[in-house]
A = this chain, B = another copy of it.
Amino acid sequence: MRERNLVARGLAASPGAASGRLVFHSEDAEAFASQGSKVILARLETSPEDIHGMHAAQGIVTARGGMTSHAAVVARGMGMPCVSGAGKIRINYENETLSVGPVTLHKGDVITVDGSTGEVLLGDVPMQQPELTGEFSTLMDWVDKIRRLKVRCNAETPQDAKSARDFGAEGIGLCRTEHMFFEDGRIATMREMIIADNQEVRREALAKLLPMQRADFIELFEMMAGMPVTIRLLDPPLHEFLPHEPDDISHVAKSLGVPSKRLNNRVQALHEFNPMLGHRGCRLAITYPEIAEMQARAIFEAAIEAAVKTGKPVKPEIMVPLVGLKEELDFVKARIDAMAAGVMNETGRMVDYTVGTMIELPRAALQARKIAETAEFFSFGTNDLTQTAYGISRDDASRFLSDYLRTGVIEQDPFISLDVEGVGELVEIATERGRLTRPGIELGICGEHGGDPASIDFCEQVGLDYVSCSPYRVPIARLAAAQATLKRQAQ
């Protein structure tokens, strides 16, 4: 084995390894890739603007951000190696250099990222391809006979859904619809909607998004062929869809055909001190019900069309995010139900659907008894539940959690493995109270913990119905679910 020449260490954010030429901008990633070069994209942090560069790259390294930063989540979804939050790295976009202490790397230098260990290495480190053998499928057959927990996947694209099915997923537990708006041709329309001055203009932009969103759902429903698909309504704050740097703002304003100043004003007006706790989730649907209505229409129309095409009935599960009060869910569900009635009336066809909610706020967990009067299912969003229960921002946590681990204050990053004692109690409370109101209520988990064996063991213990995780984690989740079942039987 050759020497491993370690440059820096970060979080093992997405497993697997890759080598390539170092680039710092998405345009360079695409340019190099189009010439047949493999590239590793290095960024302080990634944003939706970098998605093309990420697609073009073999691997990602970021100086900032945690296990659930944009880079980490997107890379895991893509099955692409990623090291995030390598805090010692200094990236200079202007000079296109990456420095760690006295070592400085330049654009075009070859590096290797190992997303399973969190290492960034110099040069083209030799690696092994994993093999899926017959023994693997024998093991998985055994596993599936034993486990009680269902395993779904978090997926938005038909490709993801296909990977997940190939890996044995039994449905989609989390379709984050916002990912569908970041694509080319859509982000512009999304931005038109966001900068609209009034509801009428907003509805016009939404009318343009409707067919795209409907087409996405048709593809997903066809791919899943009757398996359950849980679709979460728009969740992130709207400013995530807008550019923030002055150059980007003037560029985007030009392409939208609006004055830079107007776009800039909207960006400023949407600025938030704590976006994680801001105007997002169901709060968007309460301010702009027309967004939720467009999404509901797209879901129902797609369900009808896909059912006709595949001959298998589609039963969408519509998930309202960031609910803290029963009244929020009531407000949004009323719009969804009205839209369902409208579409069924227009088409003369029935759609069987359910409306439920993420449990991702401590208040929601405590109020589960009331919320279950309206919610037909709960999906535990344990990423946000961990953030709020602990009062820790995932994206900012790396700078002090390392001190916590070093001093022994904590033994395990609560974003990697569920904090059973604290966050876990909220899950137990919500499970117990939800069932008091609605004994058969469907219960799942769709946070990153859904792919973590120790957390899956906890889900079995509490008696959830399913876990949902990234496509590439489905096999490990199936195995962990079986182990959890065996552990309970042995007790």
**A interface list, Cβ under 8 A from B:** 272-279, 283, 286-287, 322, 324-325, 327-328, 331, 360-363, 366-367, 384, 387-393, 395-396, 399-400, 403-404, 407-410, 419, 421-423, 425-426
Contacts and interface: CB of A to CB of B under 8 A. Distances in A.
Given A362-B389, A367-B421, A391-B360, A409 B277 contact: no
A422 B367 contact: yes
A286 B360 contact: no
Contact of A391 (B322, B399, B400): B322
23 contacts: A273-B276, A274-B274, A274-B276, A274-B393, A276-B393, A277-B277, A277-B396, A279-B399, A279-B400, A286-B400, A287-B403, A322-B391, A324-B392, A331-B409, A361-B389, A362-B388, A362-B391, A362-B422, A363-B389, A366-B389, A366-B422, A367-B421, A367-B422
Given A363-B390, A363-B422, 10 more contacts: A274-B393, A277-B392, A283-B400, A286-B400, A287-B400, A324-B391, A361-B389, A362-B391, A384-B391, A388-B388
Per CB-CB distance, the 10 closest pairs between chain A and chain B, nearest first, are A277-B393, A274-B393, A362-B362, A363-B422, A361-B391, A273-B395, A278-B396, A274-B274, A274-B276, A272-B396
Given A286-B407, A322-B391, A390-B363, A279 B396 contact: yes
A418 to B, nearest CB: 13
A393 B331 contact: no
Given A286-B403, A389-B361, A277 B279 contact: no
A141 B387 CA distance: 46
Contacts of A396: 272-275, 277-279
A426 B362 contact: yes
Nearest to A44: B268
Contacts of A322: 391
A292 to B, nearest CB: 13
A390 B409 CA distance: 26
Interface centre among A275, A388, A421 (most CB of B within 10 A): A388
Interface centre among A328, A403, A422 (most CB of B within 10 A): A422
A36 B13 CA distance: 61
A286 B409 contact: yes
Contacts of A272: 393, 396
Contacts of A400: 279, 283, 286-287
Nearest to A65: B273
Contacts of A324: 389-392, 422
A440 to B, nearest CB: 26
Interface centre among A322, A362, A366, A419 (most CB of B within 10 A): A362
Interface centre among A279, A325, A331, A396 (most CB of B within 10 A): A396
Given A389-B361, A400-B283, A400-B286, A327 B277 contact: no
Contacts of A275: 273-274, 396
A72 to B, nearest CB: 14
A44 B419 CA distance: 40
Contacts of A410: 325, 327
B404 A366 contact: no
Contacts of A363: 389-391, 419, 422-423
A222 B276 CA distance: 43
Contacts of A384: 391
Given A325-B410, A407-B286, A409-B327, A274 B362 contact: no
Contact of A395 (B274, B286, B361): B274
A425 B287 CA distance: 28
A367 to B, nearest CB: 6
A73 to B, nearest CB: 14
A410 B274 CA distance: 21
A285 to B, nearest CB: 10
